[in-house]
């Protein structure tokens, strides 16, 4: 203690010198932080606060930051800054800084939560789709298991599942790019197109032709299969590629059901109009309805 009775030497940290004008900022007063990325500009003074505007160079969107006039700015006109950078002096972290940080940080939290819920929604929808189609596939498999595989000689009216070979007789259609005749033909013309990532094939023309029916035979006999009922119900045979030729940027393909091809059908057998005495007409024909395969 000195002679004047003071408790601390002059100039010590506990002594506060009176300011010349205006109250000084408290040492623990947090800095004003930018809430967006952009370029700094200064606006008018409103209500004793200097307006510091941060403008995004790409979108043109501006965010105003009201700053008390007694605060010391650490940015200049035209300076680019990022979200979270200091606009005034002061500690970056503190209770006073929390509102400023929260204002900018809330956007990040929003998107984190949004994408989190979005991922959960996608997972739920994806699970439902897989479950739905998985059950549909299981149901179809069980339905196939319940339907006995029969030979041509044992076909009766109702649902049947059978294997056979497309016989070489009856009405056929000519090929589009070949001379090969078949019961069903799907053809298409494609062009190879370059793009930024890689090239891909684009279908420029396509078409389908088919006979109304064909005979399927096995070791016990034969049965007529209606292609017309299959097509009119929006279905088509599952076929592999039978012909392809490329010329320049174009390629030409045919997918066919040819005589001699192995065939599996799961559909309904219906009685034909032929009489038992008419040995040329099989007593049943395989037809496809909306549930046919």
11: left (phi over 0), alpha (psi -120 to 50) or beta: left
Q: How far is it, in rounded angstroms, from Cα 253 to Cα 74?
A: 71
CATH no. for 38-103? 2.40.50.100
Token digits of residue 13 = 């940290």
Note the pLDDT of residue 69. 83
- Cβ burial of 200 (10 Å; 0-12, 13-18, 19+) is exposed
What are the per-10-residue average pLDDT scores of the chain (293 residues)?
46 46 54 87 85 86 86 86 83 46 51 74 75 60 65 86 90 95 96 87 95 93 91 88 94 96 89 62 78 44
Cβ distance 263 to 160 under 8 Å? no
The string of pLDDT tens digits covering residues 74-129 is 888 888 888 888 888 776 544 444 444 444 445 556 666 777 778 888 887 777 76
Q: How many residues does the chain have?
A: 293
Domain with CATH 2.40.50.100 in the chain: 38-103
pLDDT in tens, 213-231: 999 999 999 999 999 998 9
Question: Has this prediction a pTM greater than 0.75?
Answer: no
What pLDDT does 276 receive? 53
Instruction: Report strand pairing: 80-81 vs 158-166.
Output: unpaired
- Note the pLDDT of residue 247: 94
- pLDDT at position 102 is 43
pLDDT at 177: 96
- What local confidence, expressed as pLDDT, does residue 7 receive? 47
In three-state form (DSSP H/G/I as H, E/B as E, the rest C), the secondary structure along 7-26 is CCCCCCCCCCCCCCCCCCCC
Positive or negative CA dihedral for 233, 239, 243, 248? positive
Helices (H), 147-285: 227-232
Both structure tokens of 141:
């498999």
DSSP element (H, E) containing 217: strand 213-218
Phi/psi for 66 (5° steps) reads: -70, 125
């Amino acid at each position: 203690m000195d002679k004047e009775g003071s408790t601390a030497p002059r100039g010590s940290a506990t002594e506060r010198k009176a300011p010349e004008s205006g109250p000084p900022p408290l040492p623990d007063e947090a800095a004003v932080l930018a809430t967006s990325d952009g370029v700094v500009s200064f606006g008018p003074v409103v209500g004793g606060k200097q307006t510091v505007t941060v403008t995004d160079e790409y979108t043109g969107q501006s965010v105003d930051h009201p700053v008390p006039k007694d605060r010391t700015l650490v940015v200049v006109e035209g300076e680019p800054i990022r979200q979270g950078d200091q606009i005034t002096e002061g500690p970056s972290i503190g209770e006073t800084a929390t509102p400023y940080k929260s204002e900018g940080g809330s956007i990040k939290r929003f998107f984190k939560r949004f994408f989190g819920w979005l991922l959960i929604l996608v997972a739920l929808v994806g699970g439902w789709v897989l479950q739905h189609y998985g059950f549909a596939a299981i149901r179809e498999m069980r339905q196939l298991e319940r339907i006995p595989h029969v030979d041509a000689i044992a076909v009766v009216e109702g649902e049947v599942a059978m294997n056979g070979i497309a016989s070489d007789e009856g009405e056929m259609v000519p090929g589009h790019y070949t001379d090969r005749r078949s019961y069903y033909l799907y053809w298409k013309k494609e062009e190879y197109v370059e793009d930024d990532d890689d090239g891909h094939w684009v279908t420029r023309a396509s078409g389908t032709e088919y006979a109304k029916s064909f005979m399927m035979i096995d070791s016990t006999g034969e049965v007529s299969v209606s292609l017309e009922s299959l097509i009119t119900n929006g279905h088509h045979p599952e076929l592999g590629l039978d012909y392809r030729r490329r010329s320049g940027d174009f390629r030409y393909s045919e997918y066919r059901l040819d005589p001699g091809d192995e065939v599996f059908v799961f559909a309904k057998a219906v009685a034909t109009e032929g009489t038992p005495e008419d040995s040329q007409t099989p007593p049943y024909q395989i037809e496809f309805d909306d549930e046919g395969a």
